[in-house]
């Protein structure tokens, strides 16, 4: 259909119903047409002939297009930080369209993306849904299963689980819940069951490649999340989107970046790829993959060498003036224990005093003798590291022109203020904590932490509730849900999962329950999983709405409801989502709570799992708290969402009070427990698989697997309504690299390294830096020509990160060669 001028862009209508006013011209119109069908939009020619009018007149009154339709709500609870409120248009127990629902208190925030629109149609697709309990009949991976009853499935699974417990103890039973559904009941039910059984569950952030941000933020800020409201960028003169493709992966926030640019902010995208967000950027900085810390250090060198750093802010709000012993790198304290203060050099008194001393004027820089111990300030230690990163050295590492680096640094420091939004792409390297830590320190050196229009933000974590004086009771009644009886969960770092299963140390894992997870497709080194990890597990159960790669390697596959088919609950302060079934569950699908309750009853834990899903949801509301003033449960369920009256709906910044959740309450860029790793201050270390190292001679290309507009992991793969956007994975490659290999756009190529191989078509584009290739995360082997991108990745433990918390999978720290197939 041709683009028509009649479809003018306007705001989303408040009732969320589909009208032409909802859609924009051009690409937006074509995109939404492909997602929900032209007929759903009432697509019609711009003009009608007179005979057509006569024909319409003869048919009589036009039927009400809303007749028989109802509207139901859900929270889009897949692993995207937006958590959009969705409205489904339902008739005859079928979802026809999905549109944005209103967010109370935020009329500007209604949102849904192509993924959530498309997933509504997948609800009814029996070709991809698991419709009945299934038992494997062939070899694992063969896809050969037989249909069984729920009773048989639960009986046999319980028998196998009890046999594992009898042989190895309850910790040998593992329950792995990933991010396919992050609503409370769905996500937590398997882990809660593990607790009631005394079994093992897994801290998944490491293996999923998202833990580097948490570690880096915690080192600096004392908390793993913390972000300025995106609306605060209206106060910025520059916004740096560092490894963050907001347009595709955080669609609810993108509108505010557009408005920030309209308001005069310069938008800069730092990314090896010309990602979709660059469409609104004033500058794309095409950095070499995984050299982000080097760029941040080089920028700090420019700022500090020109004496433009925020001295007063650093002294008042950071560990910069804290004294460090030259003998061992430890920070000087005024005593022993956690309550001991940190020592600073009082320039007025000419001596070292506790940093808590009233009226102290602390030195930012200097070398001092304290009782015979030579000490320097933490800031001087940072300067030692920063000074290495001259423009030439930084250019050599990052691939950026020295002039670009210097201009970027100067524009950043002169913006007064500039805000940075950091993304998941920064962290998926072997030293994953380093990018977030270093870029946050850059913002601190500039004095942009805690100020309007500034910050070095990650996702969420901003206070969104006003405290009520005198109120000490919790807003939510979670105690019963948290009660696991006489047992407790054995929580294991997911970074050690493979080794524990293979070596059976510190205890065997002989039974695995996968929920909300296409484990093989979304975990590193698929060949190792298939050939070494899974064979060491006697029983594998997958609970999923959809047939997945992991399901095919399971012994039992149980049909789970998706978020349109069940009761659930999600606290996304200041909003609370109440989900109820919009349609009847497909086939014999059950919710995760129903499934765990059946299993619990079979193994003698039924008393802890005696509520229905709706009863659990109702039990969470503590109506004695002011959060629920005027609350009506039935109305909240009908609307799908409750806006807390004690919520904060205005734009927010974090750390405005200069108080951080670190031990010292100061912004921390010097961590003396990392001296043994030579990482006491932010630093850059080359990739584990370094293209400049020996492995680079054999495999010279850095391989990325990025998130895009099509997929949140795997559950959106292959939705027919989205095929007009993209129907297969593509490998992005710069023309320089393609020409050197005799590869042309559209060729089928082999991507190879020592771990595996994958074949797909190539997309030759200037929108990726030379030396780097990239494909879209989530695509399963069903859609590649051969193999899968996860056969190329690896899980390698990092000693520093195991000390801090746990290794974050280095999905982007991967070298490959690409050949024409």
Chunk the chain into consecutive blocks of 10 residues (it has 821) and report each block's average pLDDT, rounded to whole numbers: 33 31 28 31 40 53 80 92 92 95 94 91 92 98 97 98 98 96 97 98 96 97 93 97 94 95 97 95 96 98 98 98 98 92 96 95 97 97 98 98 98 98 93 97 98 92 86 97 97 97 97 97 97 98 97 98 97 96 97 98 98 98 97 97 96 93 97 98 97 96 93 87 90 98 98 98 98 96 96 98 97 98 94
| Residue 297 Cα distances to 226, 308, 436, 675, angstroms | 22, 15, 12, 19
Asked whether the beta carbons of 422 and 457 are under 8 A apart, the reply is: yes
Check residue 712 and give its pLDDT. Answer: 86
Tracing tokens 């259909």 back to the chain, one arrives at 1
Q: What is the largest CA-CA distance in the chain?
A: 103
Check residue 565 and give its pLDDT. Answer: 97
Cβ neighbours, 10 Å, residue 686: 17
Cβ neighbours, 10 Å, residue 631: 15
**Distance of alpha carbon 553 from its chain centroid, rounded?**
26
Check residue 54 and give its pLDDT. Answer: 55
Q: Please choose, from the candidates 75, 146, 161, the residue with its C-alpha nearest in 3D space to the C-alpha of residue 111.
A: 75
Structure tokens at 766: 């200037």
For 66-135, give the DSSP string.
TTT-EEEEEE--SS-TT--EEEEEEETTEEEEEEEPPBTTBTT-----HHHHHHHHHTT-TTTB--S-EE
Structure tokens at 756: 């595996």
Check residue 642 and give its pLDDT. Answer: 98
Q: What is residue 12's DSSP assignment?
A: P
Asked whether the beta carbons of 361 and 414 are under 8 A apart, the reply is: no
Determine which helix (DSSP H) or strand (DSSP E) holds 552, and give its type and residue range: helix 549-552
Asked whether the beta carbons of 785 and 302 are under 8 A apart, the reply is: no
Structure tokens at 811: 């999905």
- Strand order of the β-sheet with 70-75 is 70-75, 85-91, 94-100
Dihedral-angle region of residue 741 (phi above 0 means left; psi in -120 to 50 means alpha; beta otherwise): alpha
Check residue 709 and give its pLDDT. Answer: 87
Check residue 16 and give its pLDDT. Answer: 31
Label residue 543 exposed, middle or buried (CB < 10 Å: 0-12, 13-18, 19+).
buried
State the Cα–Cα distance between residues 570 and 579, nearest whole angstrom: 8
State the Cα–Cα distance between residues 524 and 811, nearest whole angstrom: 7
| Residue 453 Cα distances to 396, 436, 592, 652, 668, angstroms | 32, 19, 42, 10, 21
Check residue 36 and give its pLDDT. Answer: 32
| Torsion angles phi and psi, residue 14, rounded to 5 | -70, -25
């Amino acid at each position: 259909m041709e683009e028509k001028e009649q479809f003018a862009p306007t705001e989303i209508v408040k009732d969320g119903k589909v009208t032409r006013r909802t859609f924009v011209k051009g690409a937006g119109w074509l995109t939404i047409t492909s997602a929900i069908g032209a007929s759903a939009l009432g697509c019609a020619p711009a003009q009608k002939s007179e005979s057509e009018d006569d024909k319409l007149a003869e048919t009589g009154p036009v039927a009400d297009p809303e007749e028989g339709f109802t509207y139901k709500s859900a929270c889009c609870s897949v692993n995207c930080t937006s958590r959009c409120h969705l409205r489904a248009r339902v008739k005859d127990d079928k979802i026809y369209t999905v549109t944005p629902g209103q967010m109370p208190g935020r009329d500007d925030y209604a949102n849904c993306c192509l993924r959530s629109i498309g997933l509504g149609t997948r609800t009814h697709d029996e070709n991809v849904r698991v419709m009945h309990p299934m038992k494997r009949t062939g070899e694992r991976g063969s896809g050969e299963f037989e249909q069984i009853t729920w009773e048989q499935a639960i009986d046999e699974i319980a028998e196998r689980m009890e046999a594992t417990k009898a042989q190895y103890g309850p910790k040998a039973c593992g329950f792995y819940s990933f991010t396919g559904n992050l609503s409370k009941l769905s996500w937590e039910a398997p882990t809660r069951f593990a607790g009631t059984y005394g079994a093992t569950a897994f801290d998944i952030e490491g293996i999923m490649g998202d833990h580097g941000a948490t570690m880096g933020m915690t080192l600096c800020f004392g908390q793993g999340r913390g972000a300025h409201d995106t609306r605060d960028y209206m106060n910025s003169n520059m916004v740096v989107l560092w490894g963050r493709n907001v347009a595709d992966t955080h669609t609810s926030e993108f509108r505010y970046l557009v408005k920030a640019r309209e308001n005069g902010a310069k938008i800069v995208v730092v990314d090896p790829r010309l990602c979709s967000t660059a469409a609104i950027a004033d500058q794309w900085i095409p950095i070499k993959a995984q050299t982000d810390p080097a760029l941040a250090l080089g920028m700090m060198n420019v700022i500090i060498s020109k004496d433009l750093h925020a001295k007063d802010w650093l002294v008042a709000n950071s560990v910069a003036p804290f004294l460090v012993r030259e003998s061992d790198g430890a920070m000087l304290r005024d005593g022993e224990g956690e309550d001991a203060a940190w020592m600073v050099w009082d320039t007025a008194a000419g001596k070292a005093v506790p940093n808590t001393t009233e009226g102290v004027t602390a030195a930012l820089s200097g070398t001092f003798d304290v009782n015979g111990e030579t000490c320097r300030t933490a800031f001087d230690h940072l300067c030692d590291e920063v000074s290495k990163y001259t423009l030439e050295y930084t250019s050599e590492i990052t691939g950026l022109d020295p002039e670009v680096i210097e201009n970027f640094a100067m524009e950043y420091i002169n913006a007064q203020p500039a805000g940075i939004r950091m993304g998941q792409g920064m962290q998926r390297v072997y030293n994953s904590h380093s990018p977030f830590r270093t870029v946050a320190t850059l913002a601190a050196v500039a004095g942009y932490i805690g100020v309007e229009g500034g910050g070095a933000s990650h996702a969420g974590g901003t206070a969104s509730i006003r405290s009520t004086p005198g109120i000490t009771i919790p807003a939510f009644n979670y105690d019963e849900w948290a009660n696991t009886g006489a047992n407790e969960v054995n929580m294991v770092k997911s970074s050690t999962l493979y080794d524990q299963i293979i070596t059976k140390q510190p205890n065997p894992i002989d039974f695995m329950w996968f929920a909300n997870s296409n484990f093989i497709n979304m975990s590193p080194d698929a060949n190792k999983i298939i050939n070494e990890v899974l064979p060491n597990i006697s029983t594998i159960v997958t609970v999923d709405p959809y047939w997945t790669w992991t399901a095919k390697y399971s012994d039992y596959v149980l049909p789970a409801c998706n978020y349109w088919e069940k009761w659930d609950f999600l606290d996304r302060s200041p909003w609370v989502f109440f989900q109820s079934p919009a349609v009847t569950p497909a086939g014999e699908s059950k919710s995760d709570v129903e499934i765990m309750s059946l299993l619990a009853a079979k193994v003698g834990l039924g008393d802890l799992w005696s509520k229905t899903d709706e009863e659990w949801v109702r039990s969470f509301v503590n109506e004695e708290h002011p959060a629920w003033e005027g609350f009506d449960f039935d109305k909240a369920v009908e609307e799908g969402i409750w806006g807390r009256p004690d919520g904060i709906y205005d734009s927010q910044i974090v750390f405005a009070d200069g108080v951080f959740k670190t031990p010292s309450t100061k912004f921390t860029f010097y961590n003396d427990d990392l001296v043994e790793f030579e990482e006491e201050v932010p630093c850059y270390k080359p990739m584990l698989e370094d293209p400049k190292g020996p492995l680079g001679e054999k495999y010279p290309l850095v391989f990325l697997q990025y998130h895009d507009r099509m997929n949140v992991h795997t559950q959106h793969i292959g939705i027919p309504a989205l095929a007009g956007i993209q129907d297969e994975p593509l490998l992005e490659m710069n023309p320089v690299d393609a020409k050197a290999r005799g590869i042309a756009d559209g060729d089928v190529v082999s991507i190879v390294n020592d771990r595996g191989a994958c074949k797909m078509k190539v997309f030759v584009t200037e929108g990726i830096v030379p030396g780097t290739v990239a494909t879209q995360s989530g695509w399963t082997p069903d859609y590649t020509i051969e193999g899968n991108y996860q056969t190329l990745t690896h899980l390698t433990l990092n000693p520093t990160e195991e000390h801090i918390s746990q290794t974050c999978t280095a999905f982007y720290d991967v070298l490959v060669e690409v050949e024409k197939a």
